[in-house]
Structure 1
Amino acid sequence: MIPLILVDSKRDHCNKTVEIYEDVSSPPVTAENFGRPLTCTYRFRAFRGSPKDWILRIRFKKFKVGTLINGTTCHKGYMQIVDGNAKTDVSNRKEPGLFCGEIEQPQTFISETNFVKIVFHADNFTDQTYFSFDSRAEQQFEVYLRYGQHPELYPNRRGEVVTG
Structure 2
Amino acid sequence: MKAKPCIESLTIKTSHVLPPDTNSHGTLFGGKLMAYIDDVAAIAAARHARMPVVTASTDSVDFLNPVYEGDTICLEAFVTFTHKTSMEVFVKAITENLLSSKRKVCATAFLTMVAVDEEKKPVPVPQVFPETEEEEWLHSGAKKRAEYRRQRRHDSKEMAEKFGTDLPWSKRK
Normalised to the residue count of structure 2, the TM-score between the two structures is 0.28
Bigger relative contact order, structure 1 or 2, given CA contacts below 8 A and separation 6+? 1
Q: Which structure features the higher share of helix residues?
A: 2
Please identify the structure whose Cα radius of gyration is greater.
Answer: 2
Q: Which structure features the higher share of strand residues?
A: 1
